[in-house]
Amino acid sequence: MQKKVTDIQIEELFVFTRKHFVEWYDLQCELVDHLINDIEHIWQENPNLSFVQARDKSFKKFGVFGFMDVVEAKTKQLDKKYWKLIWQEFKLFFTIPKIILTIALWFLTLEILQKFQHQQYLILIFAIALFVYPVVHSIKFKRTINQRTKKTGKKWLFEQYIFGLGGILNIIQLPFHVLSRTHEISSVTELYFITTFIVVFGLLVYIMVHIIPEQIQQIIAKENPEYREALNLV
């Protein structure tokens, strides 16, 4: 009779993944499923092996770095998915009907820049706003994650990725270098460029910290009933 991994052993596999630095429940589930299938396959070839022996034999197949390569691969997968969603949403702001809003924002920003006497200070205000908005939103999102983790005892890799805003907090300093200028705008071309930069970057920030996280949560909730239940706890 083919040996099967028991429920108790499955729980032990979850503990095993946590001991090997995989703290995210969604990734733990994927690894445990893989280990179960591989252990049962190993038992088909050598049924005399104990559960621990079969588990360790399966784990060795992950190489020197263990599960770290899997974590890295999953992160890259999330990164690709995240930026694909961002690009899809960004393009929508240049198609009807959202392009009307984009054009209106551009002319509004242009009008404000033209009428403001000390433009370098106004540009600095825009830069600070584009920095503060994602930071504040990120703090709120992190607080929600912590509350959910406390209630469920589970962390989710994609939520931690969203918290990092797909790396935006690393590049968010760019507006300070580009927009925080020390002199007045000297030409129409420069005025149009700065206006376009503010609008485009502002749209990206809004999409990355407001629209995409909600979309990803909805996608994962549809695929994972446990996460859908966790969302209802906060």
Contact 227, 221 (CB under 8 A): yes
Give the whole-angstrom CA distance, residue 100 versus residue 105: 9
Per-residue pLDDT tens over the stretch 49-75: 999 999 999 999 998 888 999 998 988
Does residue 225 have a cis peptide bond before it, meaning omega lies within 30 degrees of 0?
A: no
Q: Which of 155, 169, 176, 163 is nearest to 205 (CA)?
A: 169
Contact 42, 85 (CB under 8 A): no
pTM of the model: 0.77
Per-residue pLDDT tens over the stretch 122-164: 887 887 887 788 888 888 888 888 888 888 888 888 787 776 6
Q: What residues of the chain score a pLDDT lower than 70?
A: 1, 163-185, 233-234
